[in-house]
Amino acid sequence: MVSTLTTNERLFALIISALVSICGLALAAVGRQDLLAAQGFIIMVFGLACVFAVAQGFYEPEPSKERLSSYYDDPIKVGIALAMAWAVFAMFIGVWIATLLAYPELTFDQGWASFGRLRPVHTTGVIFGFGGNALIATSFHVVQRTSRARMPDQLSPWFVLAGYNLFCLLAITGYLMGITQSKEYAEAEWYADIWLVIVWVTYFILYIRTIARRKEPHIYVANWYFMAFILVVAILHIVNNLAIPVSLGHAKSYTVWSGVQDAMVQWWYGHNAVAFFLTAGFLGMLYYYLPVRAQRPIFSYRLSILSFWGITFFYMWAGSHHLHYTALPQWVQTLGMTFSVMLLVPSWASAGNALLTLNGAWHRVRDDATLRFIMVAVVFYGLTTFEGSFLAIRPVNSLSHYTDWTVGHVHAGALGWVALIIFGSFYTLVPSLWKREHMYSALLVEVHFWLALVGTLVYVFAMWNSGIVQGLMWRTYTEEGTLAYSFVDSLVAMYPYYIARAFGGLLFLLGAIVGSYNIWMTIRATPLTSRREIDVPQSGAVVVPGE
């Protein structure tokens, strides 16, 4: 890794790592009366590990100039490995907390193992650990290929990747210790949030610089989506996490928003995190790996434009549909609902564009489990966006809100769309990145596909049933006009669905483990490809140097 950095970059890497460890030491010192000390210690150890890693390769020979006529793929490889590691870890936590709902004694009387702490570990681990690393890795790959340009330097991608994973690590260890700012999907406290801003801005600048160096006249659709993802996530993250720490020596902070404004900002963030992290980013992934794997042109450029601007414009308004029938003024709810309805067609246009791209390649979908991963992901994407607009309609929401239906909806998106598109993309990317003939085992890809599909279906059907049963029980009245069921009655009715959900999640986890093994063996035990494909920025031409 270090050997691919120039001497200057090695020096900068060393300085940045040292600064990080000094910051960690400082936090540990001023926060010694607080849990912040433990977090500072983690930062310090992380920084020192980076210092050692860089120092070890510091005096290795400079990389040759020839590297500049090839793409810079090393950080992508590490990103893929990290994504799969986070997937297995966070999905395991998911199965654990799913089981916890049916068998609450599985906390073993440990505070850190209570549902309230493990749940953000699961959500952060899956969304940011697995999804985020996959997005960073694939976006580095896609932007270089579709721009025919190497990333401008070797250090920023490593800074983004390592810095981002430090954020995830701080967030998750914090939750286990009981540190949280109690904002869903934004639980990490102020020091981690500030760090993520630094990392994310670097990511944005790196992306823009790479695109600025492109040798194609047009910017490809995938890059529109990746840029929207990076830019908007930065805005969302900064606004929602504006907070004032109790003191610089405490992990605890208080948000600057209060009351219903806080709720609105939180769900503006929460919904657009779904929109721009879990949708736009992964649409970027889809728009590259689908046509590559299917070997088909994108069905319609015009449809791409329509859906991109539709999604980016309408999504921004839809967050208030998370707050129907609350203290939020009704006019805001109406806007959230109607914009969610108008969002449906642009969303479906993306799904339709992807499925119609497969015309002429359906025989490949049948034979190739990797392409099938992508195809089924698109189907789940269409299903989930329809469901999202449907659940945003106020009267529907009055039945579904606060029930497991929402959980089912989220997992139809997270398992069916996000995870499947990642797996499909990774199975496409891994052999080409490591220059292997094929994946280690096509059979294991097939096994993974079926485990993932069946797991998702079991999970989603269990939660649909559970959610609708719950919603109906909560609104059933007796002839006398009193509630027919207590809350506990509805919990008892959930029991079989909770067991089914945990089983579905377990199947999905097993699939991720099979996938990790397959990727590992592809790297370790599959022969190099004999094909000499041209995978360089611009064949035979002089490349603008990175430095």
Partner 1 sequence: MEVEERDPVSGHRTTGHEWNGIKELDTPVPRGVLIFLVITHVFAVTWWFLMPTWPLGTTYTKGLLDVDQRAIVEQQLVDAAAERAPWIDRIERASFEEILPNEMLMSIVQSSGHQLFGDNCAACHGVDGRGSANYPDLTDDDWLWGGDVETVAETMRVGVNTEHPESRVAQMPSFGRDGLLNREQVNSVAAYVYSLSNPDYSTSENIDEIEAGREVFLTSCAACHGANARGNQDVGAPNLTDAYWIYGGDLQTIVTTVHGGRHGHMPTWDERLTNAEIKILALYVHSLRVEKP
Which residues make up the interface to partner 1 (CB under 8 A)? 145-146, 148, 216-218, 220-221, 288, 291-292, 296-304, 306, 325, 329-331, 333-335, 337-339, 341-342, 344-346, 348-349, 352, 356, 359-360, 478, 480-489, 492
Residue placing its CB nearer to partner 1 in the complex, 441 or 538: 538
Q: Which residues are annotated as a binding site for Cu cation?
A: 271, 321-322
133: amino acid identity, one letter: N
Residue placing its CB nearer to partner 1 in the complex, 98 or 392: 392
For residue 265, the minimal CB distance to partner 1 (Å) is: 16
Burial class (CB in 10 A: 0-12, 13-18, 19+), 109: exposed
DSSP calls for 394-415 = HHHHHHHTTSHHHHHHHHIIII
Q: Provide the 8-state DSSP code for 113.
A: G
For residue 529, the minimal CB distance to partner 1 (Å) is: 17
Q: Which residues are annotated as a binding site?
A: 122, 271, 321-322, 409, 411
For residue 341, the minimal CB distance to partner 1 (Å) is: 5
Q: Are 170 and 180 in contact (CB under 8 A)?
A: no
Q: Which residues are annotated as a binding site for heme b?
A: 122, 409, 411
Residue placing its CB nearer to partner 1 in the complex, 342 or 457: 342
For residue 349, the minimal CB distance to partner 1 (Å) is: 6
Residue placing its CB nearer to partner 1 in the complex, 255 or 304: 304
- Tokens 């219903």 appear where? 260
Residue placing its CB nearer to partner 1 in the complex, 524 or 532: 532
For residue 491, the minimal CB distance to partner 1 (Å) is: 10
Residue placing its CB nearer to partner 1 in the complex, 318 or 502: 318
For residue 146, the minimal CB distance to partner 1 (Å) is: 4
User: For 103-181, where are the alpha helices, taking DSSP H only?
Assistant: 115-124, 133-147, 155-177
Strand partners, 483: 477
For residue 370, the minimal CB distance to partner 1 (Å) is: 17
219: amino acid identity, one letter: I
Residues with Cβ within 8 Å of residue 494, at least 6 apart in sequence: 101, 404, 466, 469, 470
3-state DSSP call for residue 153?
A: coil
Residues with Cβ within 8 Å of residue 14, at least 6 apart in sequence: 51, 54, 55, 58
DSSP calls for 199-218 = HHHHHHHHHHHHHHT-SSSS
Distance in angstroms (rounded) separating the CA atoms of residues 301 and 299: 7
Tokens of 534: 């041209």
How long a stretch of residues is the chain?
A: 547
The sign of the dihedral angle between the CA atoms of 542, 543, 544, 546 is negative
For residue 531, the minimal CB distance to partner 1 (Å) is: 14
Distance in angstroms (rounded) separating the CA atoms of residues 135 and 154: 18
Residue placing its CB nearer to partner 1 in the complex, 132 or 537: 537
Which phi and psi (to 5°) does residue 244 adopt? -115, 120
Residue placing its CB nearer to partner 1 in the complex, 182 or 486: 486
3-state DSSP call for residue 253?
A: strand
